[in-house]
Amino acid sequence: MRPSIVHGRRRPGQTNQPRSLFLRLSWPAISLCSAVSSACSCRLCLTNTCIVDGNGTLILISSSISTHIPLLQVDPRMGKASAVSSLLCCPCRCLFCGVLSCLFSVLTCIFFSAGLVALVLYLLFRPHIIRATAVSADLSVFDLTPRMWILHYNLSLALQLRNPNKRIALHYRDVAAHAYYEGQRLADAALPDFFQDTGETSPLNPVFAGDAPLVGGVAAAGFRREAAEGATFSVDVKITAHMKLKLWVITVPGPKPKIDCPLRIQQRNHTDGGAPPPEFHPTECRVWF
């Protein structure tokens, strides 16, 4: 559908001098002209016109209107125009643009304010991730019943949890420890809630005792392999909790820390009941939220 020229009545006293701004563009620039024509403002509506002359040159005419529609003036040097596309600023479109502009301004202000507050709080409190270390472990029982694949275990573990923050105290709730072997959960151990002041180190002593079936032959094969290699078993202990942060006199909800301690523990020798537990090398645990 070919667009037509939009005519308007000239205001009294208006001169014949064109007020429009002519910009010669190549034919592939029609997309740019359409994009420019989509711009509008509630305070100042713009009429953007695309004209194609007989030589195939695209001309962009841009004139300001407020309460009237001016006569579109074409430079006589351009020749006879073969196609004219005019886009006028209607009130509905200006209202839509105004709502979008207002919404964008509000969202930008919110995001900027939130980022500024977060930056100030970070520079003020300088938060650090807690550190967890497994300092000792005693695996007194770790036996597998043949054919039934029932694992009997007795594991005592000593962990140290350190709060490196200087301005943030921590309150732990719903603390629990979980023991895994070959990817299968063996047991859970509930731990008491505790408060950790700034720069303080708190001990955790979970104990796992009981029996659990090993599902699948892969886990049983892994147990037999590690038993034959010096009875040093790979046990994974994970700690979960809910945390609250104490900032001076204000207490706010905090993240949920997850602590993962992959351990290599040698089983105690059954033949010598009075012997101390085998040497255990302290292991740093991974902490994430």
Residue 14 within any structural domain of the chain: no
Q: Which of 70, 89, 108 is the last residue before a domain boundary? A: 89
Amino acid 277: pLDDT: 80
Do residues 30 and 111 share a domain?
no
Give pLDDT, residue 82: 39
Residues 108, 164, single domain; the answer is no
Residue 52 lies in a domain: yes
Same domain? For 169 and 110 the reply is no
Q: Is residue 94 part of a domain?
A: no
Residues 187 and 249 in one domain: yes
In the prediction, which pLDDT does 5 show? 39
Q: Are 172 and 254 part of one and the same domain?
A: yes
- Placement of tokens 């038993």 in the chain: 227
Q: For residue 11, tell me if it sits in a domain.
A: no
What is the Cα–Cα distance from 101 to 109, expressed in whole angstroms? 12
Establish if 284 belongs to a structural domain: yes
Helix (H) or strand (E) holding 129: none
Q: What is the pLDDT of residue 95?
A: 65
Examine residue 204 and state whether it is found in any structural domain, yes or no: yes
Number of domains in the chain: 3
Q: What does each of the 289 residues of the chain score in pLDDT, given as a tens digit?
A: 444 434 444 444 444 444 433 334 333 443 434 443 444 433 334 444 444 445 544 444 444 443 333 334 444 444 444 334 344 444 455 666 777 778 888 888 998 888 888 787 677 777 889 999 999 999 999 999 888 889 999 999 999 999 999 889 999 999 999 999 999 999 999 999 999 999 999 999 999 999 999 988 888 899 999 999 888 999 999 999 999 999 888 898 988 999 999 999 999 876 666 677 888 999 999 999 8
What is the pLDDT, as a whole number, of residue 93?
A: 55
pLDDT at 235: 96
Note down the domain range covering 75. 21-89
Clarify whether residues 34 and 174 are in a common domain: no
pLDDT of residue 84: 40
The answer on 242 and 107 residing in a single domain is no
Whether 177 and 160 map to the same domain: the answer is yes
Tokens coding 167: 């301005």
- pLDDT at position 38, please? 43
In a domain, 15, yes or no: no
Asked if residue 167 and residue 64 are part of one domain, the reply reads no
- pLDDT in the model for residue 176: 97
Residue 111 within a domain = yes
Q: Are residues 170 and 107 in the same domain?
A: no
- Shared-domain flag, residues 31 and 164: no
According to DSSP, the β-strands at 21-25 and 58-65 are antiparallel
Q: Are residues 275 and 148 in the same domain?
A: yes
